[in-house]
Amino acid sequence: MLFTSWGFALLIAVLIPLYYAVPQKCKTAVLLLANLVFYAFAGVFALLLLLGTAASVYCFARWIGWLWTQQKDSLAAHREDWDKAQKKSFRERMEKKRRLALALCLVLHFGILFGMKYGAGIVGLANGLFGTTWDGTKIVLFMGCSFYTFSAMGYVIDVQRGKYPAERNPFRVLLFTSFFPILVQGPISRFDRLGETLFAPHRFSRENLEAGLLRVLWGYWKKLIVADRLLVAVKQLIRYPETYNGAFVFLGMLLYAATLYADFTGGIDITIGIGRMLGIRIDENFIRPYFSKSIGEYWRRWHITLGAWFKEYLYYPISVSKPLRRLTKAARKLGDGFARRLPVYIATFAVWAVTGMWHGNSWNFLVWGLSNGVILLASEELSPLYARFHGRFRGWKDAWAYRAFTVIRTVLLLSCLRMFDCYATVPETLRAFGSMFTVWNLPMLWNGGIASLGLSFGDWIAAGVGVVLMFAVSLQQRPALLTPRFLQKPLAVRLAVYGTLLITILVLGYYGFGFDAGQFIYNRF
Amino acid sequence: MDTLLEILSELRPDVDFAAEDRLVERGLLGSFDVVMLVTRIEEEFDVVIPARLITPETFRSAEALYSVIQTLSEED
């Protein structure tokens, strides 16, 4: 089921009163039912995979939890008669068993995800090599599979690390894995953080309901009025790269930045808003990312939960892994500075290669990911130079103009990188990028160019007002200050705002010809 | 503790590590710094900080980090 379908609106309209009407002990069952209804629309196989993932994750976590209990019990039983070496050796044996269980779990679930993401390409390769005629196009990625797999694997890794015990109640694991607001585009959630609020008792609260409703309406506003409208122009620009080059590429870069922001943050607003209406706190996934002053800061403020997942479960484990430590030791012959940088460089490129592959199955995404890695490393290496610069020009760092310059520089840089996400191939992307500096066609934009992008004058006005409004809200929205202030306004004002948002969504929402009414860009990941 | 403070100062000369207790939260130690630090700690103290202990809590202050190094040394 899509967030932008009438069926989804009906599901929420039925769920909210029902959820608060039933006794606390039945709330989990009501949410589980809502999850099943929501995901049943993805098809029988998708639903079976989701249920199978939850069951498998429950079993693996319980197995690992059982190994932890065995270790603690045995160490307690032999506290007196085992010496330090025996205890250490026993702990290491048990750690190996837990790692094996975890490895099986990761291989199984990431294997399924990999198969779905890359299956068609692998089949194509096999057909080319062996002359077979298998149909790879039937292999599709089920909606949300990436997101719930990552959340579920995070839970099993945490249990293996002993961060918290394995959950005994299978329905709680199922609820965590299949919680419908976060199912199709995240945020990638942590069992301890989401579980704390998901399994807690919830009483009806007007404040939660209104704050959630406001967030949901704002999310739909961004998605249907700004993102879906601008996407029409972006698609037109990408479809004909030979025609739309030079200044059009620059325009496309900025339009795509606005589209992606409105689409993804809009979807997350809906997710967090629905959670809030149910009294469930879902982690934020964005903190005003376009106000970042560097690419590193941007990645700490955009899709926060994915970045945090990769950092905690991939970047650090790779950088302290045995093979890399051995390599670092060997590299000391070439200099301490080089040896100490080696794990940072290898782990950074590994993580960004995987981040690229997560976003898509073409070379574009790999190049996009690795380019991010190069910029982040270059930025780190140049940091002493920046420090010297700011030492020489004291006061610049805090000057309004310099801060604005760094923000605009970051937005332009990340928009350039995102071109790999737009164009079909790497050479096409590079050609389009190069044309910005070689083709001087700026006047063509207002001599009919903009008018040819599939949007009417009214559409451009609506999208423009939307972008200005998003910017104004972002300026005001120093984390979570806006909503509490709004909730203190008189009822008439609040109703007027809800009504205006709803009516403008219904009247100005973009439902044009050929428009895929509901697919969020991040649903495809 | 003095050796650790020296390592930290080499890495980020602009930070007062003896006084600061919100290193990660305030963005004074990023993920690059953390990995460089883990490598330096292994060189100096012969202790490997496992991935499960690379958390904001471990790196929030020099004192917290030193306490983890001591615990790991004792376990060895």
**Chain B residue numbers touching A71 (CB-CB < 8 A):** none
Distance between CA atoms of A272 and A168, rounded to whole angstroms? Answer: 27
ipTM value for the complex: 0.88
- pLDDT over threshold 50, residue A515: no
Q: Are A353 and A372 in contact (CB under 8 A)?
A: no
- pLDDT over threshold 70, residue A481: no
A272 vs A449: which has the higher pLDDT: A272
Q: Are A283 and A194 in contact (CB under 8 A)?
A: yes
Q: Which of A340, A349, A375 to mutate to test the interface with B (most CBs of B within 10 A)?
A: A340
Query: CA B47 → CA A93, A229, A313, B40, distances in Å?
Result: 20, 56, 21, 10
Q: What is the pLDDT of residue A72?
A: 93
Q: Angle at Cα A421 formed by Cα A309 and Cα A353, nearest 5°? A: 45
**DSSP annotation string for A367-384:** HHHHHHHHHHHHHHHTHH
Superfamily (CATH) of domain B2-75: ACP-like (1.10.1200.10)
Query: Which range, of A50-54, A68-72, A102-106, B2-6, averages the lowest pLDDT?
Result: B2-6
Q: Are A37 and A18 in contact (CB under 8 A)?
A: no
CB atoms within 10 A of CB A197: 15
Q: Are A160 and A101 in contact (CB under 8 A)?
A: yes
Q: Which of A49-63, A446-460, B15-29 has the highest mean predicted lDDT (pLDDT)?
A: A49-63
- A478: tokens are 């120093």
A354 vs A120: which has the higher pLDDT: A354
Q: Which helix (H) or strand (E) holds A355?
A: helix A336-359
**B17 to chain A, minimum CA–CA distance in Å?**
18
- Per the CB < 8 Å rule, is A161 touching B52? yes
Q: Which of B8, B25, B41, B52 to mutate to test the interface with A (most CBs of A within 10 A)?
A: B52
**B16 to chain A, minimum CA–CA distance in Å?**
16
Query: Which range, of A49-53, A239-243, A250-254, A387-391, averages the lowest pLDDT?
Result: A387-391
Q: What is the pLDDT of residue A421?
A: 86
- Nearest C-alpha in A relative to B30: A296
- A374: tokens are 């190069």
The four Cα atoms A125, A131, A137, A143 give a dihedral, to 10 degrees, of: -40
User: Per-residue confidence at A523, pLDDT binned at 50, 70, 90?
Assistant: low
Tokens 């800061």 correspond to what residue? A297
Q: What is the pLDDT of residue A513?
A: 44
- How many Å from the N-terminal Cα to the C-terminal Cα in chain B? 19
Count each helix (H run) and each strand (E run) in chain A, helices first: 24, 0
**Nearest C-alpha neighbor of A227 from the set A186, A257, A270, A272:** A257
- How many Å from the N-terminal Cα to the C-terminal Cα in chain A? 16
Sign of CA dihedral A376, A381, A382, A388: positive
Q: Which of A161, A344, A387 sits opposite B14 (nearest CB)?
A: A387
- Per the CB < 8 Å rule, is A344 touching B51? no
Q: Are A512 and A224 in contact (CB under 8 A)?
A: no
Mean predicted lDDT score pLDDT of chain B? 87
Distance between CA atoms of A302 and A293, rounded to whole angstroms? Answer: 13
List pLDDT tens digits, range A178-217. 999 998 888 999 999 999 999 998 889 999 999 999 999 9
Percentage of chain A with pLDDT > 70? 96
**DSSP annotation string for B22-34:** -TTTTTSS-HHHH
**A455 to chain B, minimum CA–CA distance in Å?**
43
Query: CA A499 → CA A238, A488, A504, distances in Å?
Result: 36, 17, 8
Mean pLDDT of A287-305: 92
pTM of the model: 0.88
Sorted by sequence, the CB contacts under 8 Å of residue A511 that are 6+ apart come out as: A224, A517
- Per the CB < 8 Å rule, is A320 touching B31? no
